[in-house]
Amino acid sequence: MDQRVEISEFLRTRRGRITPEQAGILGGTRRRVTGLRREEVALLAGVSVEYYARMERGNLGGVSAEVLDSVARALRLDDAEVDHLIDLARSAGPQPVRSRKRPAEQAVRPTLQRFLDAVTGAPVWVRDRRMTFVAANPLGRALYAPILDDPVNQANTARFMFLNPAAHSFFPAWEPSADDLVATLRSYAGQNPRDRGLTDLIGELVTRSDFFRERWAAHNVRHHRTGIKRIRHPEVGDLELAYEAVELPADPEWSMFAYTAEPGSATEERLAILGSLAVDKTRSVADEAEAR
């Protein structure tokens, strides 16, 4: 990805969504842009028009934290967008940005897998920044079996979401789920613009999916930390799960997610059924292996 283009499009799309009325500016009736003009953003941020125009052309090199903060306030950026702007500015600095890499063959530590397996009442799973599954407990694997069992998407949620028609059934709230996934991917891309695996995935999806390409062009970003996930599981039906994300300091490219159901809800009952099915399948596989 061209970082200057990324910076330019991000600032331009943020500027385009704010009306003069929202910014407290009397804009008149004739405007050639739907949002704020560059000079209006510069006025709100307390910088010269030339300086802001240089920023919006993709040049954030040398821009101070104070100016970034002023521009963020002028554009009414949320926390995820502020972080993304800072990541873009960091990548535009005078020193090359080094990817935060981990070995490609890094295995899941036995202690981490034991921890996951010790959680029996909730689906828990780990993924990397490319949206690929890394590890899970049995209930987590059972919950996401349609993704894990699909050989085409390579256990990757993004590929499943945009390249497998079954995703529209598995994620009944497909539109917001797709929006969130793309916004999260863009946040990751801003943090590590030289992650070859991530840029290759994005390039593949831009090429193969109109749905992804449209969302990617919106330049939205978000933090994937907590929320509600709705899933229509082929074995137990509709599930509404609250999730919490946990960063793993020993594996900074990985995130762990835990899902819980509202006590006494239909989801809690169905999740228990799914857990029982997972145990039965595990025993069946073990029995077959022993029989051989």
Residues 150 and 249 placed together within one structural domain of the fold: yes
pLDDT tens digits, 97-122 = 444 444 445 689 999 999 999 998 89
Cα-based angle 17, 212, 91 (whole degrees, multiple of 5): 65
- What's the chain's average pLDDT? 88
Q: What is the pLDDT at residue 35?
A: 87
pLDDT tens digits, 124-148 = 999 999 999 999 999 999 999 999 9
Report how far residue 290's alpha carbon sits from residue 273's, in angstroms, rounded to the nearest whole number.
26
Q: What is the pLDDT at residue 288?
A: 61
Domain of residue 162: give its range: 110-291
Task: Determine what percent of the chain is predicted with pLDDT higher than 70.
Answer: 89
Residues 160 and 187 placed together within one structural domain of the fold: yes
CATH number at residue 22: 1.10.260.40
Residues 146 and 43 placed together within one structural domain of the fold: no
> Where a domain ends, among 58, 91, 124?
91
Residues 168 and 53 placed together within one structural domain of the fold: no
Higher pLDDT, 261 or 30: 261
Pair 171, 231: CB distance under 8 Å: yes
Residues 179 and 122 placed together within one structural domain of the fold: yes
Report how far residue 222's alpha carbon sits from residue 90's, in angstroms, rounded to the nearest whole number.
18
Total structural domains in the chain? 2
- Give the mean model confidence (pLDDT) for residues 161-175: 96
Q: Which two tokens stand for residue 250?
A: 């020993």
Q: What is the pLDDT at residue 1?
A: 61
Residues 124 and 175 placed together within one structural domain of the fold: yes
Residue 54 in domain = yes
Q: What is the pLDDT at residue 99?
A: 41
pLDDT tens digits, 225-279 = 899 999 999 999 999 999 999 999 889 889 999 999 999 999 999 999 999 998 8
Report how far residue 134's alpha carbon sits from residue 106's, in angstroms, rounded to the nearest whole number.
10
Q: What is the pLDDT at residue 28?
A: 54
Q: What is the pLDDT at residue 94?
A: 56
**Pure H helices in the chain:** 3-16, 38-45, 49-56, 65-74, 79-91, 110-118, 138-143, 145-148, 157-163, 167-170, 174-191, 196-208, 210-216, 266-291
Q: What is the pLDDT at residue 20?
A: 84
The pLDDT-based confidence of 34 (bands split at 50, 70, 90) is confident
Residue 100 in domain = no
- Give the mean model confidence (pLDDT) for residues 67-90: 92
Pair 84, 190: CB distance under 8 Å: yes
Residues 52 and 131 placed together within one structural domain of the fold: no
Nearest to 233 by CA among 203, 284, 197, 278: 278
Residues 192 and 125 placed together within one structural domain of the fold: yes
Q: What is the pLDDT at residue 101?
A: 45
Q: The tokens 């991917």 sit on which residue? A: 185
Q: What is the pLDDT at residue 117?
A: 94
- Give the mean model confidence (pLDDT) for residues 207-212: 96
Q: What is the pLDDT at residue 154?
A: 86
Higher pLDDT, 23 or 4: 4
Residues 62 and 130 placed together within one structural domain of the fold: no
Q: What is the pLDDT at residue 146?
A: 94
Model pTM? 0.80
The pLDDT-based confidence of 186 (bands split at 50, 70, 90) is very high
pLDDT at 90 over 90: no
